[in-house]
Structure 1
């Protein structure tokens, strides 16, 4: 409980205004390189300001994102921070995975989010070059486009933050199609509270697949209630503590508490796949059953996905 509570109590960390707009509407494949460069420079400036403010932890996190090897579509180091990072050659990617994170994800904890994205990208790259697959170009996007709730908070039990994030995610996915080939498949991989964000964004979301992993619920009672054309998948590892979360909704003092039906329940109607023995933070562990199935979903080979 110490980490999220102490993080909430930290003073505001200074950072420059973003170098690029928070949306990618005006971006084109030819302006990606300059956008990446501008955001890396912005992250460097943010690191210097955080260090001068006496926050070496944030300075280190900013500086890691400013590395020449990192490609940031968007970056905002103010407050808890926002970032959209690309792994792979986006303009040529035929299969794109967008990771939507859960609670306690911020610039301060971004390293673990990046680790998950990197593990998926490595797995996808290895699979896409085998004789059985014809997807030589893959990309992974780590989308930290909203203020995630703290795990130890009442906010995490409501859809409030997800309702704020949903329009941004829907817009991002729509604009992403302008940066990828017309035939590109886009898959959303939504972890923990990120699955609530994906659930609230689902109506009208221009994606091929939505995978809900370690989900406390989506705010909906069934796949039909999501009103999406995307194939909806769900999984929970056998060691994930979220299985003990009550999947219900109640009204309390005029506010709805709880996130509804468990997405791995048959009644929800999702395609339930095997996540092995993953714990709540282990869905992207290299070599794991869950990572293999997430890669197969991203590559659009549902027949190879092992079911629970």
Structure 2
């Protein structure tokens, strides 16, 4: 028995070491550095500064703007992507012919790497030779500098994110819809329920856990928005598209202020935890309500 337990521990040891190396150690290292004035080019003079980094960050107007941009982007992107994904899933679930090709075509945007998506849209939105401005010129509009105009840059990145990740929400919700028992729909129709009542009392309760999972995953991912912003706008114009990750990159990587960047990272982690815990509690509450019913 002891030899068997020992063998299991030996087999699991590489996994534990990998887990510690990729998660526990970086987290502890970041937390430790967040309380220091660690500057990469002067690593010999690392001093403990307590909460000074956190206080400086919270007082920084640019950081507050980055937090607002990130939260606004998250709320809009997650809401729109979830609604559109659910709408597409409800439409496609009843399609009989050409379903395979339809699903593949819908999923193409989410299969592309974010960097590739950003570069494609950068070329398409170019105000000199981009295809979108060429098309607008045919109807007497443009050219528009979508990515460098303070009035359009944020909404442009939001649209690109919706274009890329709505297929992801569609896929998860489509799978959830397929798992709903047909007998429930038949019973609802026998009772005389119309389409809205069927959706509200049959479809939505059955896919609610999947819906909350989609919202949670997209919320976490939206907070990590960096690739598109860094490539398309660099956080501009006038910080209108600066996100928390862009702020962390600027100070922690570009300016080599490791301690300051680590503190900003920890604040971001806390924000993600707040939203994640909120959605998890909502999910648990929804399941308890279903059990009481």
TM-score by length of 2: 0.23
More relative contact order, 1 or 2 (CA 8 Å, 6+ apart): 2
Name the structure where strand makes up a greater proportion of residues.
1
- Structure having the higher Rg: 2
TM-score by length of 1: 0.22
